[in-house]
Structure 1
Amino acid sequence: MKSIINNRIQIVVHISIWILFYGLTFYPVLNDTRPIPSDVFPKLIVIIVLFYFNYFYLVPEYLLKKTVLFYLFLSLGLLIFSVYLLNHFFPPRIPDNFFIQQERPRGLGFMPFYRTFVNLGIPYVISAILRMYVEWKRNENLRLSVEKENIKSELQFLKAQLNPHFLFNSLNTIYALSVKKSPDTSEAIVDLSELMRYMIYEADKDLVPLNKELDYIKSYIQLQRLRLSDSENVSLKITGEDRGRAVPPLLFISFIENAFKYGTDYKGKTYVKISLIITDASIYLNVKNKIGIFREPTKNSGIGLENIRNQLELIYPGLHNLEVSNDGQDYEVSLTIYQKQSSL
């Protein structure tokens, strides 16, 4: 569809160029009710032939392939040859009494050649500029398309890493419940199935409704509450209107998951405070947790946070602010995402 629109735009541009050129050519003649010079129509035919020969062949074959010097000599020779043919077969006629009152100026014999060269040269140069712009625009669109595909592929790769990481942690939660023979184990399995359904059917999209992402976060927190022996200090506060807003799927979960992972001490007491503020201009997420008992970091322990950092750079370049603080007792993440044009 985009290529059809671009082709139509090019057709309109070409038609506009010829309307403008023909208008400038015939306006003085029609305005002064003078007879049309005999060489006008042959000259216009040669201009059109040179214009499109240059546009479709010379520029792509020589100028765009960096053989600039050869292209310039070839173009100059072609223009001079065309001027010679036009002036030889269709010489401009000057009225016999044109120089009765004045002397014939010197160099008059050269003037018709000069005027014809200028008349042919200007459209010729315009055709080169127009074709170079079209090629530049096409290459720019191709570059943007490739860049977009690369970003999309990288995001898919990041999500492929994130999903198994999330599943691993969730299964650990259910395993902990089963070891304790908790009656909440079946409920946890149902919650996990709902989370997995969201990840399978929604997480492959570029954007999802914000309210669905919030439901996903609520389900995840509920699953974590079932695992914890003390969840009194676990809170989620959401303010603002979420309808009509959209975000990339799984955008916030890594920060929340990390808070639960490191915000629980060896006694099972957890301190995790999650606040999400939605305004017309931005979405603000704050996640704060007490740092529990020291754990030896593993090779993959930071994969979720690292992935979400990369996603933010890819999706919101220059449109987000991420701050992380760690004073040894509290770990806090503050993320602000500024409103983009796309929404659901």
Structure 2
Amino acid sequence: MVKLLVKNRVQILVHISIWMLLYGFAFYPVVNNAQRIPSDLLPKLVAIIALFYINYFYLVPALLLKKNVLFYIMVSLVLLMCSVMVLHHMYEPIIPDNAFFGPGPRRNFGYTPIYRSFISFGIPYVISAILRLYVEWKRNENLRLSVEKESIKSELQLLKAQLNPHFLFNTLNTIYALSVKKSPDTSQAIVDLSELMRYMLYEADKDLVPLNKELDYIKSYIQLQRLRLSDSENVSLKITGEDRGRAVPPLLFISFIENAFKYGTDYKGKTYVKITLTITDESIYLNVKNKIGIFREPSKNSGIGLENIRNQLELIYPALHELKVDNDGNNYEVSLTIYQLKQGL
């Protein structure tokens, strides 16, 4: 409602400005030279206003916006010519029969040549068409941006919907492995999972979350992974920089970390995963490196999370991120830099 009022107010001010300018040009010579007001000036201005809004509200929407350009031009020329001729006939000069040989003829000071009248009518008429075309273009552009924004939002929700079940499936496998081994850490793993799911349920549907919450989520995830690993000596997480007052999209980094744990265990059961997060005033940098397990069979669904996060980055940070992936056959490394990190909530 407020936006509509502001929009209408702006349009009204634009129209008032146009007519003040037009009337200023029309009356300036009269006032500046202390001349009599031509008798046809006021009727001409009234006719110009009428033509302006007939064109603005009816002809442009009915013809020009519907691509009937030729018909619109023909109708406009006929309308302008008829208006000019009517005013010209009403205010043409009165010239007696002896105009060339007798005393000076009586003339109507409001007389204006037809071509000048046509120009004075035509310029505001064209302005009205341009103004209406701009208003329609602006309205369509706002509508397009709104639809695009909703489309991006829907796509992001779809990506998150795909990511969450994928993550849950992998985590349940971890708890299952602990339960099979009758590990005393099984109950703690369930508690950790409940904390992770609480975050996913109550935070992941937001556009942005505080960076410190996202980091807590990552720490809990890594702790959960440590519980299932037979050798986690080479698993490390290093975070530097100030995380307060910053915000990121939820679940932004987890796919890279999840992928590292999934493929970072070799045939001896040793896991090598190094995670580094560096936070600065201008950016956040994530580096995830893992060794590639020799006998691990790649799954056709293994790239779901990574593909989703690529799409998410393109949607949210189309020109404000750098993502590099290196694979030399022995080590897999992901480096992600996000610039102009958003301020916290």
Q: TM-score, normalised by structure 2?
A: 0.91
Deviations 1:184-236, CA, capped at 9 Å, x for gaps: 11111111111111111111111111111111111111111111122111111
Deviations 1:44-78, CA, capped at 9 Å, x for gaps: 11111111110111011111111111111110000
In the alignment, what sits opposite 2:108?
none
In the alignment, what sits opposite 1:144?
145
Residues 124 and 92 of structure 1: CA distance in aligned 2, closer, same or farther (over 3 Å): farther
Distance 2:267 2:174 in 1: 15
RMSD value, Cα: 2.2
Deviations 1:75-101, CA, capped at 9 Å, x for gaps: 00000000011122234799xxxx9xx
Q: Please list every run of at least 4 consecutive aligned residues from structure 1 whose deviation after the TM superposition is greater than 6 angstroms.
A: none
Residues 327 and 174 of structure 1: CA distance in aligned 2, closer, same or farther (over 3 Å): same
* Mean Cα deviation higher: 334-343 or 149-158: 334-343
* Mean Cα deviation higher: 155-164 or 260-269: 260-269
Distance 1:199 1:59 in 2: 52
What secondary structure does 1:6 align onto?
A: helix
Distance 1:92 1:184 in 2: 106
In the alignment, what sits opposite 1:107?
none
**CA shift for structure 1 position 341:** 6.1
2:264–2:292 contact (8 Å) kept in structure 1: yes
1:39–1:91 contact (8 Å) kept in structure 2: no
Distance 2:244 2:8 in 1: 39
**CA shift for structure 1 position 7:** 2.2
Residues 118 and 228 of structure 1: CA distance in aligned 2, closer, same or farther (over 3 Å): same
**CA shift for structure 1 position 112:** 1.7
In the alignment, what sits opposite 1:335?
336
**CA shift for structure 1 position 299:** 2.1
Deviations 1:99-128, CA, capped at 9 Å, x for gaps: 9xxx99xxxxx9621111111111000000
Distance 2:71 2:266 in 1: 76
Residues 224 and 92 of structure 1: CA distance in aligned 2, closer, same or farther (over 3 Å): farther
Deviations 1:244-283, CA, capped at 9 Å, x for gaps: 2211111100000000000112433211111111122221
What secondary structure does 1:284 align onto?
A: strand
Give identity over the alignment, percent: 80
Matched, 1:288 2:279: no
Residues 120 and 342 of structure 1: CA distance in aligned 2, closer, same or farther (over 3 Å): farther
Q: How many residues align?
A: 333
Distance 2:344 2:81 in 1: 58
Matched, 1:215 2:208: no
In the alignment, what sits opposite 1:116?
117
What secondary structure does 1:296 align onto?
A: coil
For structure 1, list consecutive stretches of 5 or more residues without a partner in the other structure.
105-109
In the alignment, what sits opposite 1:274?
275
1:236–1:274 contact (8 Å) kept in structure 2: yes
2:235–2:271 contact (8 Å) kept in structure 1: yes
What secondary structure does 1:24 align onto?
A: helix
Distance 1:184 1:245 in 2: 34
Distance 2:203 2:119 in 1: 62
**CA shift for structure 1 position 5:** 2.7
In the alignment, what sits opposite 2:315?
314
